[in-house]
Structure 1
Amino acid sequence: MSSFTAACIQLTSGTEPAENLKVTTELVEEAALSGADFISTPEVTNMMEPHKAAAREKAQFEEDDITLKALKELAAKHEKWIHAGSLVIKKPDEDRLANRAFVINPKGEVTAKYDKIHMFDVELDNGETHKESSAYAPGEVAVTTDFPWGRCGLSICYDIRFSHLFQELARNGGAEFFVTPAAFTYTTGSAHWHILQRARAIENGCFVIAAAQCGRHSEKRQTYGHSIIVDPWGEILADGGEEIGITMATLDMEQVAKRRQQVPNLKNIRDFTLTHSGA
């Protein structure tokens, strides 16, 4: 199979997993019935709870998480690949939570997992502050996984700003497309979202599938939306705007080899040493 249809589910997740699941299920069902082969949901699909104690109380262990269970059932029901962009998952070994992605095959089985490596610890000019590392334990392992159409490199949100991660996924991991689910703030999203997604696609000759959170989640949190699918030449195939919904496009995987032949930068990488000179 040299092509497939991908769908990004765009959500405005709130603080209650059960309520979020109703919307997620409806949109995943719609995407499956609309012909999507691969369905991706955004970061923190199951809940966006800003208070650490409340998030810890509401989070479930992986084996009990209601959203993961439902997505596994939907994958099996419709015989589709589903990528849970990330779920807030309780860890058995520490107080901090995991921001964890799951890949589910058409039999409803989890075939890959990835814990977000880079933590968003920042103070924005508008007074918005995020200290992700206080609530979430960072991952330590980069992950690629195989699909019928090619190999995929997994990432989550803030990872998109670390180009060396994607180069490693493509160059040594063999990735031909990336998933970059996110909950970008409106401030950083409006400035950098499209540029970053296109840059990672161009640099690595890969498709990028980016399912996003959108809209206002609370008085202090608004996300940018614009779920997008980008081709290996950096062209945007589909953009979901700023509303809840589904963004779909067909990916011709033969484009990966074509574009990498035109610009073989992954093959042209050279080792070098760094020096400094001057007064």
Structure 2
Amino acid sequence: MRVAVCQLNARDNRPANLTVARDLLDQAAAAGADLAVLPEYVDYLGPADGAPKPEPTDGEFGSFFAAAARELGMWVHAGSFHETGPDDGRTYNTTMVFDPTGRLAATYRKIHLYDVEIPGRVSYRESNSVAPGDETVVADIAGIRTGLSICYDLRFPELYRRLAVDGDAQVLVVPAAFMMHTGRDHWEVLLRARAIENQCYVVAAGQIGDHEPSRTCFGRSMIIDPWGTVLAQAPDTVGIVTADLDLARLRTIRSELPSLANRRL
């Protein structure tokens, strides 16, 4: 399966962001991708008071990416958006996967919320406005078991072990808006660790650049093989990169170094 990660700089203009996202999907299709992955909050990343109203999965956001998948004949992982939540004060941070007919094939709501206080650097409480999901999700994408996650989930290895062991995942997907001050030290390290310890491909699509005065994202979207080798990495600009996932190599790695099979806990 050929996979494309799409890296963009979403701002406070939803129509403009969606236009860029569709252009990146067009590029992915032209490059022969079977699956294209977009980053977290692909439709809007800006001041909260200007954010689009939350929607159900079959709202404007979902319809836009369902149409893109159908028109391009490609699997589309639509990053994430603000889905209508459990109450008036909170949304869900939700990702959706569409098959090449435009059918909604999987939905995942972010479980781990970014509540961080670093004095003088960042103060952010995602849980003030977002409710956590409570279900792990593994989707069959082109016949390949693919575990879903979003951004801050990356710091919780138990989630990925469950996806790999209980869900038989061979690919792990991470759409993100990883902030610059943590991304430059932790992004690649954590992604490669998740690939190595779970012997899975990792496909990570990130936001890049400034989004508002208090938020700059790291970018460096990448695709990593089960040995921890970075197969493709996006430069520090808007665009796509692709790589081919070789399941025979995955099986060889799991056979020759059977760490998943050797688990004692």
Q: Which band: TM-score by shorter chain?
A: over 0.9
Distance 2:211 2:25 in 1: 21
Could you give the per-residue CA deviations for residues 57-100 of structure 1, whole angstroms, max 9, x where no partner exists?
533333222x3212111111111000012112222644201110
Task: Judge conservation of contact 2:86–2:131 (CA < 8 Å) in 1.
Answer: no
How many residues are aligned here?
A: 265
Q: Which amino acid aligns with 1:58?
A: K
Could you give the per-residue CA deviations for residues 32-70 of structure 1, whole angstroms, max 9, x where no partner exists?
12211100000111111342x443x533333222x3212
The corresponding residue for 1:61 is 56
**Aligned-partner SS, 1:97:** strand
Matches within 5 A, 1:131-150: 131-150=125-144
For structure 1, the 5+ residue unaligned runs are 272-279
CA RMSD of the aligned region, Å? 1.4
Instruction: Give aligned-pair identity as a percent.
Output: 39
**Aligned-partner SS, 2:132:** coil
The corresponding residue for 1:5 is 2
Task: Judge conservation of contact 1:47–1:88 (CA < 8 Å) in 2.
Answer: no
Distance 2:44 2:174 in 1: 18
Q: Choose the corresponding residue for 2:204, options 202, 210, 215.
A: 210
Q: Choose the corresponding residue for 1:234, options 228, 239, 257.
A: 228
The corresponding residue for 1:254 is 248
Distance 2:120 2:98 in 1: 38
> In the alignment, does 2:245 pair up with 1:224?
no
Matches within 5 A, 1:69-88: 69-88=63-82
**Aligned-partner SS, 1:85:** coil
Q: Choose the corresponding residue for 1:268, options 239, 244, 262.
A: 262
Larger radius of gyration: 1
Could you give the per-residue CA deviations for residues 145-166 of structure 1, whole angstroms, max 9, x where no partner exists?
1122410000000001100110
Distance 1:111 1:149 in 2: 12
Q: Choose the corresponding residue for 1:106, options 89, 100, 109.
A: 100
**Aligned-partner SS, 2:183:** helix
The corresponding residue for 1:38 is 35
Distance 2:54 2:141 in 1: 29
**Aligned-partner SS, 2:79:** strand
Q: Shift of the alpha carbon at 1:125? A: 4.4
Could you give the per-residue CA deviations for residues 92-122 of structure 1, whole angstroms, max 9, x where no partner exists?
6442011101010000010100000000100
**Aligned-partner SS, 2:206:** coil
Could you give the per-residue CA deviations for residues 203-242 of structure 1, whole angstroms, max 9, x where no partner exists?
0110000010000001110000000000000000000022
Q: Choose the corresponding residue for 2:175, options 174, 178, 181.
A: 181
Distance 1:124 1:91 in 2: 28
The corresponding residue for 1:274 is none
Q: Which amino acid aligns with 1:190?
A: R
Q: Which amino acid aligns with 2:100?
A: P
For structure 2, the 5+ residue unaligned runs are none
Q: Which amino acid aligns with 1:42?
A: P
Q: Which amino acid aligns with 2:18?
A: L
Task: Judge conservation of contact 1:7–1:249 (CA < 8 Å) in 2.
Answer: yes
Distance 1:59 1:141 in 2: 20
